[in-house]
Amino acid sequence: MHIEPGLVDSTKIFLSYATATAALGCSAKLAWDMVRTEGVTALLARSVMAAALVFAFFELLPTHPVGVSEVHLILGSTLLLVFGAAPTAIGLVVGLAIQSLFFAPDDLPQYGMNVTTLLLPLFAIQALARRVIAPDTAYVDIRYAQALKLSVAYQGGIVVWVGFWAIYGQGMGAENLSSIGTFGAAYMTVVLLEPLVDLAVLALAKQLQRLKGSPVVQPRLYTAA
């Protein structure tokens, strides 16, 4: 997870309930829109796969404590491009919940902050994708520069939210600001790797044409909007 226990005092944590509720509300709206256009089966199939991957990212991939939080390889833009916004949002919510309930119960009080931190940047890159990827371009055909923009936006959004929670919880002291800066600098190194992972996954998907039209990937992966 991203927000460490004790970073925000229990007397101030109520704000995370409000932000998480808003983020979950947006996720529910995306899920409902997807059910109306693609059906429940597609939503469930992609959400289960996204949740399994998110859990694996948190539990199996390397994690390094740095500054106010930890550096994870979450691959939010990869999940968005392959599965779509609604399944990715559900995957993040469920993956985090499984980790918190069964593997890191001390992180449960921070669940609302972590959900906010991961979901709101996801919604931002969903909107950004519409601007940087032309409607006549299938996602398997995007370029490195486009993948980089999505990765920078997602990881940058996470850094901003972690910084917000740290300042909200610990104030503007020099030590806290230094820790935020250290975390931000380390976390943005993920940007060097994530676009390459995006392109590798998309290149693999391009070879697996039998997935075209399958409920396990979003239609835009193979077909222009």
Using one digit for the tens of pLDDT, what is the confidence trace for 64-106? 888 888 888 889 999 999 999 999 999 999 999 999 999 889 8
Residue 49 CB contacts under 8 Å (≥ 6 apart), including other chains: 83, 87, 91, 216
- Pairing assessment for the beta strands 69-71 and 64-66 based on DSSP bridges: antiparallel
Residue 8 lies inside a defined structural domain of this protein:
no
Residue 221 lies inside a defined structural domain of this protein:
no
**What is the residue type of 213?**
G
Average pLDDT of the residues of the chain: 93
Q: What does the pLDDT look like over 43-55, one tens digit per residue?
A: 999 999 999 999 9
Total domain count for the chain?
1
Which domain, by its residues, includes 97?
14-211
CATH code at 109? 1.10.1760.20
Q: How many CB atoms lie within 10 A of CB 92?
A: 27
Residue 118 lies inside a defined structural domain of this protein:
yes
Q: How many CB atoms lie within 10 A of CB 171?
A: 10
Residue 138 CB contacts under 8 Å (≥ 6 apart), including other chains: 220, 221, 222, 223, 224
Please state the pTM of the whole predicted model.
0.95
Contact 3/114 with Cβ under 8 angstroms?
Answer: yes
**What is the residue type of 223?**
T
Cα separation of 156 and 73, whole Å? 13
Residue 9 lies inside a defined structural domain of this protein:
no
Cα separation of 30 and 154, whole Å? 18
DSSP state of 4: P
Query: Is the pLDDT reported for residue 24 higher than 80?
Result: yes
Residue 124 lies inside a defined structural domain of this protein:
yes
Residue 4 lies inside a defined structural domain of this protein:
no
